[in-house]
A and B are shown apart, each in its own frame.
Chain A
């Protein structure tokens, strides 16, 4: 009897599958392109998700993890709901983002910086803080763009849509303990 293919194994493909819920569906890709066709940012990707999957199967680790594809993903889930093989494509993009960051291969994108800034506020206050997020993110990453975005921020303030102080949740210690434990347990 042939053992059905599963998440066990050491190849790049197996790592991607193991880190993604229902990732084993990746084995079923028939290269139809409904993902790349559906993607609102498809035209701006180095590789369509479909090509990325072929590269993953071919073990092209570096090519895949340094692609801009996953950073262009807006999590709209069109590819996921349309995929005729029910491959969790959006979730695979999240997996590739994590792997790419871990291995220092993410380039030419501000998305990781935005994510880190966001998470910094979350871990400090338990809440997102839009003004802080914007200023801190732009200050450290896009100081020039900050000048451009200034008027928008002022407009937001004028419409009462930006608070000047972050809110902190009551039991921030509990949240931080959970975060620490989760980091500790690994991915």
Chain B
């Protein structure tokens, strides 16, 4: 029986119709493509009336296949599959032709665009004839969720889910949860004490019966898919037994080794060879710094072990690999600070009194290395004048093109703290002041009132090359004051660099592990920038906080909660339906060579030793096609991506090519082997 195909070409307002002659494409498809019985164009095919048109046509014209030529299938494939289903057609008897992202948005040549659109539609029409009805696969959702990253976003997500009654594994690679927020002194714009609002949440997360906390641990491997991910976690050896340690801290007190703390104290303070990163750490269990511990480096000491009242020190502890099954994963892995030595003209690392924003946070913190006193690198001198430089490594295509988002507000906060704690003058050097959230502009107003000085100009250099008596022995900030148009040299005692927020060093590696994508900088990519900000293109993987892009605490908390809500929705539904696009092995043809077994990146192929054949585990298969290409017996086919479907699509795209040209491109051999449609 011949197929009856409906072709629908979308204008997408002027997005497509502005470049492609859509009426001509529809007319041409109706007149020239085999089996096409209806071909229409329409203003917005994704609108409810557009969908309805398709549904009715399926019934009135007895359509057996549908092609929609519109935008990317990422956006509306689901929409039109549903329309087909509503019209009584199996949703997989549908094919989408992308004539927007692939054509109209990338050219201005109308004639060429229209011709290409015809080819893309022809390809879809030929392909859809080979589609087979498929049924989505049901998967039970494991209610346990893995949250990666124990900063404020991850803590929020974990608490939301745990409070809803679902089990959570909260993974953190540092010895304590808390993230960057734990390092801060005050938070803008309300100046709440950071620790005061964060530590209750930290201890709640640490004690929650539904949260399993794994600190000093990292994600090693992820397999499976939504509903039933398998995760491997490396729990690094602390050399302290968590089941015995009471967190009394005697070991830390007695430890003779002192090491500069580049992590929590941002290099401004020290920690011991065995240490708890900060007083309110959760869990309050120390870690031995193997790199610096006298016992580990020289084989003698063990003072901590001798003094521990509960015999919790275990020098032989090894890393453990833990395995869990989880239904969903939330990534909240945060950010790292721009390396300010990359801008040598600002002198960081060379001029002692140039500080990074993180160093300054620690300096302001009452529990920090200076006890909250704002002093120069000598540890005692109070500055008379402080310069705060914005946009260090951000809004600069030599480093990072993006605006780092939070630095203007953090700079205002620093200005306030300097004015509050010292008698110093404070200068802010900014390009544009960005204070666009609730209460932020008001905070800017407050600093104007408090007398912070603002110079609009990107600082050219910070130098100790003095030119006048006044400049002697001080740092000089050289800048064009763009509001007066004059070059100024302002002598100061301390410079604070508002370094950009950057993606974590290993963001790309983590993205690869969990199968999501990143921007070129390394920020994780959301499913939709406006309408689906915490989901990713991989079902069951969500993102929250700064790993998606620079953002402040309120936004991070909102995203943590949003990601948790998305996960809770999936858990409460219980079953999710996944695409039936998986490989299947024809047991008749399988020779049992087992080549596919080891090639499968998802461990989704098992071997049946009785029948001596390989078999696909449907729940694990992601339909990547590796095994299909590798099988020497051609015993494996991929649903919805079968050879004949793809060859037909190619031939369609080349509808106007000569026989010889087609043979040269598609290959004469495959032409003989495959049934040539329309022949």
B-binding residues in A (CB < 8 A): 1, 3, 30-39, 42-43, 47-48, 50-51, 78, 82, 84-86
Could you write out 16 A-B pairs with CB less than 8 Å apart?
Answer: A1-B19, A1-B106, A30-B431, A31-B482, A33-B457, A33-B480, A34-B458, A37-B459, A37-B461, A37-B480, A43-B486, A47-B485, A82-B460, A84-B391, A84-B458, A86-B397
- Point out which of A34, A38, A43, A82 has the most chain B C-beta atoms below 10 A from its C-beta: A34
Give the interface centre of A30, A32, A38 by most chain B CB atoms within 10 Å.
Answer: A32
Q: A36-B480, A37-B480, A84-B397 are in contact. List 11 more A-B contacts (CB 8 A).
A: A32-B431, A32-B482, A33-B460, A34-B457, A34-B480, A37-B487, A43-B487, A48-B487, A50-B480, A82-B345, A84-B398
4 smallest CB-CB distances across A and B, nearest first, come from A37-B460, A36-B480, A33-B480, A84-B396
Report whether B397 and A32 are in contact in the complex, using a CB–CB cutoff of 8 Å.
Answer: no
A33 touches B397 (CB 8 A): no
| B225 in the interface (beta carbon within 8 A) | no
- Inter-chain contact B487/A36, CB cutoff 8 Å: yes
Q: Are B460 and A85 touching (Cβ within 8 A)?
A: no
Mark out the residues of chain B between 366 and 406 whose CB falls within 8 Å of any chain A CB in the assembled complex. Answer: 391, 395-398
Whether A37 contacts B107 by the Cβ 8 Å rule is: no
Q: Compute how far the CA of A32 lies from the CA of B480 in the bound complex, rounded to whole angstroms.
A: 8
The closest CB in chain A to the CB of B483 belongs to A33
**List of B residues within 8 angstroms of A86 by Cβ:** 397-398
Contact pattern, B 111-125, Cβ under 8 Å of A = 1, otherwise 0: 000000000000000
B457-508: which residues lie under 8 A (CB-CB) from chain A? Answer: 457-461, 478-482, 485-487
Contact A35 B345 (CB under 8 A): no
Per the bound structure, the CA–CA distance linking A9 and B482 in Å amounts to: 29
- Min CB gap B345→A, angstroms: 7
B485 touches A48 (CB 8 A): yes
Answer yes or no: B104 CB below 8 A from chain A CBs. Answer: yes
Q: Give the number of residue pairs across the A-B interface with Cβ within 8 Å.
A: 72
Q: Which of B62-115 contact A (CB under 8 A)?
A: 104-108
Give which listed residue, B106, B398, B456, B480, contacts A42 with CB less than 8 A: B480
* A3 cross-chain contacts in B, Cβ below 8 A: 108
**Residue of chain B at shortest CB distance from A36:** B480
Do residues A34 and B487 form an inter-chain contact, with CB atoms below 8 A?
Answer: no
A33 lies within 8 A of B458 (CB)? yes
Q: Mark B17-42, 1 if CB is under 8 A from A, else 0.
A: 00100000000000000000000000
Cβ–Cβ < 8 Å partners of A51 in chain B: 485
Chain B residues with CB below 8 A from A47, complex form: 485
Contact (Cβ within 8 A) A84 B395? yes
In the assembled complex, how far is the CB of residue B391 from the closest CB belonging to chain A, in whole angstroms? 8
Output the nearest chain A residue to B459 by Cβ-Cβ distance. A37
Contact of A32 among B19, B458, B486 (CB under 8 A): B458
- Closest B residue to A42 using CB positions: B487
Chain A proximity mask over B263-281: 1 for CB below 8 Å, otherwise 0: 0000000000000000000
- A37 to B398, Cβ gap below 8 A? no
A-side contacts of B480, CB under 8 Å: 33-37, 42, 48, 50
List residues of chain B with CB within 8 A of the CB of A82. Answer: 345, 460
A36 cross-chain contacts in B, Cβ below 8 A: 457, 460, 480, 482, 485, 487
Please state if A38 and B105 are interface contacts (CB–CB under 8 Å): no
Across-interface contacts of B457 in A (CB, < 8 A): 32-34, 36-37
Name which residue of chain B comes closest to A51, CB basis: B485
**Which residue of the partner chain B has the closest CB to A86?**
B397
Chain A residues with Cβ below 8 Å from B391 are: 32, 84
A47 to B484, CA, bound (A): 11
Contact B479 A37 (CB under 8 A): yes
Chain A residues with CB under 8 Å of B461's CB are 37-38
For the complex, give the distance between the alpha carbons of A64 and B479 in Å: 22
Q: Given A1-B108, A84-B397, decide whether A39 and B487 contact each other with a Cβ distance below 8 A.
A: yes
Chain B residue with minimal CB distance to A44?
B487
Nearest-CB residue, chain A, relative to B19: A1
Name the contact of B458 in the complex, choosing from A1, A37, A42 (C-beta under 8 A): A37
Q: Is the CB of A30 within 8 A of B460?
A: no
Give min CB distance, A77 to chain B, whole Å.
Answer: 13
Q: How far is the CA of A40 from the CA of B665 in the complex (A)?
A: 62
A85 to B431, CA, bound (A): 13
User: Given A31, A38, A43, which contacts B460 in the complex, CB threshold below 8 Å?
Assistant: A38
Please indicate which of the listed interface residues B108, B398, B458 has the most CB atoms of chain A within 10 Å of its own CB. B458
A36, B461: Cα distance in complex, Å: 11
CB-CB under 8 A from A34, the residues of chain B are 457-460, 480
Q: List CB contacts (< 8 Å) of B392-427 with chain A.
A: 395-398
- Within the assembled complex, what's the spacing in Å between the Cα atoms of A48 and B485? 7
**Shortest Cβ distance from residue B239 to the other chain A in the assembled complex, whole angstroms:** 46
Question: Cβ of A50 and Cβ of B482 under 8 Å apart?
Answer: yes
Q: How far is the CB of B430 from chain A (nearest CB, A)?
A: 9
User: Nearest chain A CB to B202's CB is how many angstroms away?
Assistant: 38
Query: What is the minimal beta-carbon distance from B2 to any residue of chain A, in angstroms?
Result: 39
- A72→B485 CA distance, assembly (Å): 16
How far apart are the CA atoms of A110 and B460 in the complex, in Å? 29
Contact between chains at A1 and B105 (CB < 8 Å): yes
CB distance from B574 to the nearest CB of A (A): 45
Task: List residues of chain B with CB within 8 A of the CB of A39.
Answer: 487
| B-side contacts of A50, CB under 8 Å | 480, 482
Chain B residue contacts of A48, Cβ below 8 A: 480, 485, 487
Q: Given contacts A1-B19, A1-B104, A37-B457, is CB(A85)–CB(B397) below 8 Å?
A: yes
* CB-nearest residue of chain B to A84: B396
B487: A residues at CB distance < 8 A: 36-37, 39, 42-43, 48
Contacts of B460 in A (CB 8 A): 33-34, 36-38, 78, 82
Q: In the assembled complex, which residues on chain B have CB atoms less than 8 Å from the CB atom of A85?
A: 397
Q: Which residues of A contact B482 (CB under 8 A)?
A: 31-33, 36, 50
B432-461 to A contact mask, C-beta < 8 Å, 1/0: 100000000000000000000000111111
Contacts of B345 in A (CB 8 A): 82
Which residue on B lies nearest to A28, using beta carbons?
Answer: B397
Interchain CA distance A82-B431 in the complex, whole Å: 14
Could you tell me the distance in whole angstroms from the C-beta of B486 to the nearest C-beta in chain A? 7
Write out the residue numbers on chain B whose beta carbons fall within 8 Å of the beta carbon of A32: 391, 431, 457-458, 482
- Mark B343-366 against chain A: 1 for CB-CB distance below 8 A, else 0: 001000000000000000000000
Which chain B residue lies CB-closest to A25? B397
Report Cα–Cα, A171/B458, bound state, in Å. Answer: 50
- Complex Cα gap A31–B430 (Å): 11
Within the assembled complex, what's the spacing in Å between the Cα atoms of A80 and B534? 40
Task: From known contacts A1-B105, A37-B458, A37-B460, infer whether A30 and B485 are also in contact, taking CB-CB under 8 Å.
Answer: no
> How far in angstroms is the closest Cβ of chain A from B71?
14
CA distance A31 to B482 in the complex (A): 8
CA A32 to CA B389, docked complex, whole Å: 13
B398: which A residues are within 8 A, CB to CB? Answer: 84, 86
Neighbouring B residues of A43 by C-beta, 8 Å: 486-487
Candidates B107, B432, B481; contact of A1 at CB < 8 Å: B107
Cα A141 to Cα B557 in complex, Å, equals 70
